[in-house]
Amino acid sequence: MSDGDTPMIRPSVPAADRLIGVKRPVLSHGFVVLVDYMGSDAAIVQAARVSYGPGTKTLRDDRGLIRYLLRHRHTTPFEMVELKFLIRLPIYVARQIVRHRTASLNEFSQRYSIVPDEFDLPPVQDIRRQSTRSRQGRAEPLPREVAERFRSDLQHVSHDAYAAYSAALEAGVARETARMILPLAYYTQWYWKIDLWNLLHFLSLRLDTHTQEETRLYAAELAKAVQAICPIAYEAFEDFVLGSVSLSGKERRAIRSLLEGATPEKACADAGLPLTREDGKSMTTGEGVEFLEKLERIRAPG
């Protein structure tokens, strides 16, 4: 930023401009639309260098600065960039995303409007067993007949619920009351605005494999918009957040044992990271198991 006589020009990123207004389909009836954005990689750099005035920095210098800022969690410059989306999503996904309270949202009102007859119907391959390792996740596929029965039940329940909803409206029941009968599979939509730093935090959680698959699909579409608007910042995010592995104090001690030649099991024992329960059975969750998973991630190519 220089003196007040310098004209202010709204930055435009051609790759991002091509996304504005484009419906990116997600699930059976959902979508993500980039409505607008403010700022780009240049805005991050401008905010970080405000104390120094104008200069002749190169693109390489800008890239290095953005990577430094993200690597050291200097958040404010990233907050200078904002993105606004229109998102149509099932209510059960919306309930996960709304937990990220750093976004501003305005949701379709089922009190004012009649809900469209659209519900999510997952494909057979996405209907799987409850995970034995996670209370909130899925594991291996179910027999096809079980999955198809669930899909059939979901269709019947949804159709019956919507018929009851429509009948209630025709009978004069207020919309705010009639909506109670609709399942979580029905869709809602909202405008969702968030700054870049908080969106990157959202993506760090919702692109993770522990997140419900349907929510990850929405996060992936949001990530594409970020990548178009701020490609340098997103590259840094991939390197220093998505591609990183954090280590606790105990895990660092285990790494030292590994470097000294210990086996992974011995390293866990040395660091106090248990792998077996009191009854002698192998643990399926816990700090020790998670440390071994981190080792596998480090070993994996790419």
> 206 an active-site residue?
yes
As a three-state string, the secondary structure of the chain is CCCCCCCCCCCCCHHHHCCECCCEEECCCEEEEEEEEECCHHHHHHHHCCCCCCCCCCHHHHHHHHHHHHHCCCCHHHHHCEEEEEEEEEHHHHHHHCCCCCCEEEECCCCCCCCCCCECCCCHHHCEEECCCCCCCEEEECCHHHHHHHHHHHHHHHHHHHHHHHHHHHCCCCHHHHHHHCCCCEEEEEEEEEEHHHHHHHHHHHCCCCCCHHHHHHHHHHHHHHHHHCHHHHHHHHHHHHCCCCCCHHHHHHHHHHHCCCCHHHHHHHHCCCCECCCCCECCCCHHHHHHHHHHHHHCCC
Strand 104-107 relative to strand 82-90, pairing: unpaired
Alpha carbon distance 36, 13 (integer Å): 11
Question: Virtual CA dihedral for 224, 225, 226, 229, nearest 10 degrees?
Answer: 130
Considering the candidates 24, 88, 179, 206, report the single residue annotated as catalytic. Answer: 206
Query: Are the beta carbons of 114 and 176 closer than 8 angstroms?
Result: no
The pair of structure tokens assigned to 76 is 């404010």
Cα angle, residue 170 at apex, residues 164 and 93 outer, rounded to 5°: 45
Active site residues: 206
